[in-house]
């Protein structure tokens, strides 16, 4: 081999490692660039999750508020229904009880008093019980008779277990001193309370 050929071979041998190093360097740079690009691509993805999570929380909160509002509205409707039912029942009971309270039959006076006490409760029952014997004797002595008629009635206020009723009553009254029937018109405010499923008169006023 000539000297020239030897120099050329040595040059080629030196060029091989340089080419390998260049290829490795290029591969490393490419990998680094890809990693950086992947990181750059990942960052927006993580950031984009936050708005989506916020939207989900907002949607959940709105849904919860809607459910609460619906439940509250349902409760209001149910409470209104309960008051309406109570008002209707108490109004009917008050009208019926007023007929008992304003009617007197000398032939069945003990039954009258028993029915009055049966339909009463609380303060009114206590007051009527205390005076019933004296009132009974007074009616017997005067041969009193009475017959009440409810002309009109209305609910003044109502809750689930307590209703105030206004009644307009005509009462035909006669007695030993005045045998001719006379009409006595009166206004009665009756407070009805629900006791063991029954509407009873707790207060009776004649303003």
Which tens digits make up the pLDDT trace of 170-190?
Answer: 999 999 999 999 999 999 999
What number of other Cβ atoms are within 10 A of residue 203's Cβ?
16
Main-chain dihedrals φ then ψ at residue 177, nearest 5 degrees: -80, -30
| pLDDT surpasses 50 at 117 | yes
Q: Which residue has the higher pLDDT, 18 or 200?
A: 200
The answer to whether 97 and 204 have CB atoms below 8 angstroms apart is: no
Read off the pLDDT band of 114 (50, 70, 90): very high
Strand arrangement of the beta sheet that strand 162-174 belongs to: 145-158, 162-174, 182-195, 198-205
Could you tell me the fold of the domain covering 71-205? Nuclear Transport Factor 2; Chain: A, (3.10.450)
**Whether the predicted model's global pTM rises above the 0.85 cut:** no
pLDDT at residue 123 greater than cutoff 90: yes
| Average pLDDT, integer, range 29-58 | 57
Residue 50: the pLDDT is: 60
Q: Could you state, in order of their start, the residue ranges of all structural domains in the chain?
A: 71-205
Is the pLDDT assigned to residue 162 strictly greater than 80? yes
Q: Count of residues for the chain?
A: 207
What per-residue confidence (pLDDT) applies to 175? Answer: 93
Across residues 146-172, what is the average pLDDT?
97
pLDDT at site 81:
81
CA dist 121 and 97 (Å) reads: 12
Average pLDDT of the residues of the chain: 81
**In the block, residue with structure tokens 């007074």:** 138
Distance CA 197, CA 75 (A): 22
Neighbours of 177 (CB within 10 A): 8
Q: What is the mean pLDDT of residues 29-55?
A: 55
Would you say the C-alpha torsion 93, 96, 100, 101 has a positive or negative sign? positive
Q: For residue 193, what pLDDT band results from cuts at 50, 70 and 90?
A: very high
């Amino acid at each position: 081999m000539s000297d020239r050929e030897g120099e050329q071979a040595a040059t080629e041998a030196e060029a091989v490692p340089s080419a390998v190093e260049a290829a490795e360097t290029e591969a490393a740079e490419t990998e680094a660039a890809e990693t950086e690009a992947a990181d750059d691509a990942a960052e927006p993805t993580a950031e984009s999750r936050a708005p989506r999570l916020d939207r989900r929380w907002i949607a959940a909160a709105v849904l919860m508020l809607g459910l609460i509002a619906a439940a509250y509205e349902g409760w209001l409707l149910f409470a209104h229904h309960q008051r309406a039912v109570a008002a209707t029942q108490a109004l009917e009971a008050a009208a019926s009880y007023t007929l008992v309270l304003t009617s007197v039959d000398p032939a069945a006076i003990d039954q009258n008093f028993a029915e009055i006490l049966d339909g009463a409760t609380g303060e009114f029952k206590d007051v009527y019980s205390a005076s019933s014997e004296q009132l009974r004797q007074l009616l017997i002595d005067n041969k009193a008779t009475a017959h009440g008629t409810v002309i009109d009635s209305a609910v003044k206020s109502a809750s689930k277990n307590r209703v105030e009723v206004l009644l307009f009553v005509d009462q035909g009254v006669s007695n030993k001193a005045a045998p001719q029937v006379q009409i006595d018109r009166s206004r009665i405010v009756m407070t009805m309370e629900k006791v063991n499923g029954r509407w009873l008169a707790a207060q009776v006023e004649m303003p």
